[in-house]
Structure 1
């Protein structure tokens, strides 16, 4: 089992958080839980496809996927040997690149060719790549070819920067005022570009901050809750369980799995 991540080029650093690769030679069917982390992704499978349980039923996925913003955990399982590369996009990037209202895609993992008409031959070629590095290089070249259509969303980018700077602990009304919009105007724009309301997005980023805080395993749950912006331990536990399906005391923070790979930075 091999996990690896790569940073983007300077040309793409405002659009791409990172590229990640997961490979496994073990074809034993294994379920993985995926937890919201605030990013959307383009995913390319170059070995066996995966099955997904997002809404109570299992379905086989396409090999080229767009995974939108999600609001709760879901499950994946392999159908054979695993090989996939993910392009983890900054929250506004998919809209900026393809001008697609992503609010209709929230909580969906969908075949990429169903939502964008741009040429996907370069991504298809990744399946035949001869190394991890070559596959990442092909993904980057494909993204660079899309830059001619880029429509940066300065207002939303500014708000996202504030959300991350405060670990999701920011007043939405004040954030709207900072960019000279009403709260309702900001909500409409943010949902169109990111896929979630600013308030819910803040909840996800605040939840993600727990994994930063938990790097120090000596902290009590009460201290962890307070440092992560929760008013009390019960509120903290309720939100943790909403996003993971588990109470924090039962969660395997040290387990080697996809969820921790993405959340434990």
Structure 2
């Protein structure tokens, strides 16, 4: 596990982001923490964008260390407190199903306590993990979480399926047909498996992947919008602008101006 440096987003929340070890990089996008039990309480509301992934969050500041799964298929607004220490795992698409046997459809656009989705054996091991976490030592706590995930990954005997093959080779310029071809199956079969394992269709995952790449491009550079459109798999700027505006709720130019302004203010 390695901590990323120079993180500008959510800096006022004490946001820290960590990258997983290589053996988990296909399951986990990152770990993150926000807040501190020693900080004065200030509540912030942030916009969260779906990307096909899911989260498992542990609130170390709550008396019972409440832990919940969440999978968003639409833009959501969530509240964060600077005085509440939260540790979270951001899973890649399909990871919940392959690690825990959970379909994201079971926690679609709602926060679901872990005890409603994990099996008794899984729950016993998870609660033992949570009890061992130290609020004053984020790195130690996340290291224990990663070790727990590694144990699950290494003990899970599942062959690489159609969905994993399609996701592993997914590029912004792909189509649903090319995804099905890469997975060695029909479009209809792939769509059925994606709904079960990822919680959405291949076309939705592809669109979210393009939008995530677009938001990153717009946040970090002044690249011309026509070039951003091509990088993200769109054939013209107008189509890109319409899709981005529908998905994000603001035009690419407005989004870029706001994000760059936020960076300069920090």
Normalization by structure 2: what TM-score? 0.79
The alpha carbon displacement at 1:192 in A equals 0.8
Matched residues in 2 for 1:227 and 1:17: separation? 21
Aligned to 1:31: 45
- 1:66 corresponds in structure 2 to 69
For residues 51-62 of structure 1, what are the structure 2 equivalents within 5 Å?
none
Structure 1 gaps, min length 5:
50-61, 257-265
Match of 2:130 among 124, 127, 133: 124
Measure, in 2, the Cα distance between the counterparts of 1:97 and 1:205: 22
* Counterpart-to-counterpart distance in 1, 2:31 and 2:159: 21
1:223 counterpart (220, 227, 237): 227
Which of 57, 78, 81 aligns to 2:80? It is 78
Aligned to 1:155: 162
Number of matched pairs = 240
Contact 2:133 2:144 in 1 (8 A): no
Q: Is the 8 A contact 2:162 2:185 kept in 1?
A: no
Offset of residue 215 of structure 1: 5.4
Query: Normalized per residue, which structure has more helix?
Result: 2
Contact 1:72–1:242 (8 Å) recurs in 2: no
Compared with structure 1, are the counterparts of its residues 129 and 27 closer, same or farther at alpha carbon in structure 2 (3 Å cutoff)?
Answer: closer
Cα shift at 1:126: 5.7
Is the alpha carbon distance of 1:219 and 1:80 closer, same or farther for their aligned partners in structure 2, counting shifts above 3 Å?
closer
**Cα distance between partner residues in 1 of 2:187 and 2:131:** 44
Structure 2 unpaired stretches of 5+: 1-11
Alpha-carbon distance in structure 2 between the residues aligned to 1:221 and 1:13:
30
Q: Hey, what does 2:218 align to over in structure 1? A: 214
Asked if the contact 2:34–2:82 (Cα under 8 Å) also holds between the matched residues in 1, the reply is: no
Q: How does 1:1-265 map to 2 (within 5 A)?
A: 1=12, 2-23=14-35, 25-47=39-61, 63-68=66-71, 70-78=72-80, 81-117=83-119, 118=122, 119=124, 120-125=126-131, 128-147=134-153, 148-163=155-170, 166-167=171-172, 169-214=173-218, 217-251=221-255, 252-254=258-260, 255=262
Closer, same or farther in 2 for the Cα pair 1:150/1:132, shift >3 Å? Answer: farther
Aligned match of 2:6: none
